[in-house]
Amino acid sequence: MNIKTTLLAGAVAFAPVAGFAADLTIGFSQIGSESGWRAAETTVTKQQAEERGIDLKFADAQQKQENQIKAIRSFIAQGVDGILIAPVVATGWDEVLEEAKDADIPVVLMDRTVDAPDDLYLTAVTSDLVHEGNVAGQWLVDEVAGADCRVVELQGTTGSSPAIDRKTGFEQALEGHDNLEIVRSQTGDFTRSQGKVVMESFLKAEGGENICALYAHNDDMAVGAIQAIKEAGLKPGEDIKIVSIDAVPDAHLAIANGEMNATIELTPNMAGPALDAMEAYLADGTMPPKWIQTESKLYTAEDDNKAVYEMKKDLGY
């Protein structure tokens, strides 16, 4: 009875929206919900679609490429007007993108790119991942100001482009600064629990007093690592400086509490520019540039992190 009422209420609530939004149907193949940032990206994408009166078909791939390929093929079979993909890995998209192109369905890549000829997709909306790593590295270089520093690194999912590029960017920033040395680098799979586990092993292997800074490829791993550092009896943010990427609400909170030092924002609003490009293309064939870059803003203790936290906490992070 209860479920029925809810379903009915839902149907009634959505009916006018669906009727109004009949003009555009967009399929969105999301990787999954492995991190808070990803959940926020999903929320913002759904908000953006609703604001524009777009009927969004959402498919969660549960971290599996085969699920994403299946979802995209189903979108094509369904005859959607456009497809948004946040690709889980860079390789193996040629065939399915060709099918989309054949069916005249524009595809916009979000937040990650793919190894495919660039005529197979309309545009890619991403942050510059190498640049993010670079900003993080540069911050650390300035922060230690010449003092010796042994750095440990928590990498993202092995083989994923953010893991590769954020590592590259960070290393580039550290180049020529011999006082900074990356002593350990291991994957924490972008998750809180793995971040904690791997940080524990770092602390055991190196000894907490020998680690001066932690660079995590995302905030979730950093938050997990903060827990591990606290449990080891050290003060995160003081004994071990922490810089990571994404700027999720918990990271702002950690900075406000002095447990973390810096985070670089990866905006969850990839769908805004992506849908702008898509709508313009569908309306009059305007070709967007092949790459739309989002801003990578650095947040430190100098910013009002409490305020940012309040603003971001309801996005579903």
Partner 1 sequence: MIRSTHLPLIVTLVTFVLAFALCGSQYPSILSTRVVANLLTDNAFLGIVAVGMTFVILSGGIDLSVGSVIAFTGVLLAVILRDTSMHPLTAFALALVITTAFGAAMGATIHYLEMPPFIVTLAGMFLARGAAYVLSTDSVPIDHAFYDTLQGIYWKAAGGGRFRLIGGLMVVTFIVGAVVAHRTRFGQNVYALGGGAQTAKLMGVPLAQTTIGIYAISGGLAGLAGIVFSLYTSAGYSLATVGVELDAIAAVVIGGTLLSGGYGFVAGTFFGILIMGLIQTYIVFDGTLSSWWTKIVIGMLLFAFILLQKGLTWATTVRKRRATGSAALS
Positions in the binding site for partner 1 (CB under 8 A): 27, 55-62, 64-67, 69-71, 73-79, 89-92, 94-95, 99, 102-103, 115, 157-159, 164
Placement of tokens 């079979």 in the chain: 77
Q: Which is nearer to partner 1, 88 or 262 (CB)?
A: 88
List the one residue out of 183, 132, 175, 124 whose CA is nearest residue 156: 132
Placement of tokens 């606290």 in the chain: 230
Nearest distance in Å: CB 198, partner 1? 15
C-alpha–C-alpha distance, residues 117 and 97, integer Å:
10
- Strand-pairing partners, residue 315, are none
Q: Which is nearer to partner 1, 118 or 310 (CB)?
A: 118
Nearest distance in Å: CB 309, partner 1? 27
Nearest distance in Å: CB 222, partner 1? 22
Q: Which is nearer to partner 1, 79 or 285 (CB)?
A: 79
- Under a CB-based contact definition with an 8 Å cutoff, are residues 63 and 29 in contact? no
- Under a CB-based contact definition with an 8 Å cutoff, are residues 118 and 93 in contact? no
Residue 230 half-sphere exposure, CB side, CA atoms within 13 Å? 11
Nearest distance in Å: CB 201, partner 1? 17
Q: Which is nearer to partner 1, 42 or 263 (CB)?
A: 42
Question: CA 195, 33, 203: angle at the middle one, nearest 5?
Answer: 0
Nearest distance in Å: CB 89, partner 1? 5
DSSP string, 138-165: HHHHHHHTT--EEEEEEE-STT-HHHHH
Q: Which is nearer to partner 1, 60 or 200 (CB)?
A: 60
